[in-house]
Structure 1
């Protein structure tokens, strides 16, 4: 258990993104995905993750996302193919795979 002195030395954690900006990024990501019939979905996902991490500060340190759409695209094709082969069962595990990729590419700026 931590003592109160070390707790008081910690910097604040917060999210500084605005509601309007958040809505606009989500609309852009949705339009991009719909306009390309889902082909650019990885670009939209990376756009959303980058916006979210750029506006997140943990204990005084801003987060940074280093992942790329091309890196997610390969994983997305694999998830899609394995989902078809397993009649959709693999989709149950896909969110964990994407979450691991997201965390792997999130660092402090």
Structure 2
């Protein structure tokens, strides 16, 4: 059986999370998709499953486009679609995650 592991470090995670938080706060939330993308990209690119490294090909612009669509759907449905946004984000993340 081939090992699965994560080779990212704690200091890297703290740095990415802190940068993402500051980016989101300093841009009044506009930078949130970029912060989310940074963390997903780091997390996935440091993951190995059954000896195969994962890579992430999602882009910030693609996430922004989806983010705007999800925001509009949430507004149009008076917040109801907001319950499905976390599922939509997971689907987007999964769609752009591949084995090398």
TM-score (norm 1): 0.88
The partner residue of 2:6 within 9, 15, 21 is 15
Is structure 2 residue 61 aligned with structure 1 residue 70? yes
**In the alignment, which residue of structure 2 is the partner of 1:44?**
35
Is structure 2 residue 17 aligned with structure 1 residue 35? no
What's the offset of the Cα at 1:43? 1.0
Note the alpha carbon deviations across 1:37-58, whole angstroms, 9 max, x for none. 1112111111000110111100
CA RMSD of aligned residues (A): 0.9
What's the offset of the Cα at 1:21? 0.9
**Matched positions, count:** 100
What's the offset of the Cα at 1:88? 1.0
What's the offset of the Cα at 1:98? 1.0
Q: Which runs of 5+ in 2 are unaligned?
A: none
TM-score (norm 2): 0.95
How far apart, CA to CA, are the structure 1 residues paired with 2:75 and 2:15?
33
In terms of Rg, which structure is larger?
A: 1
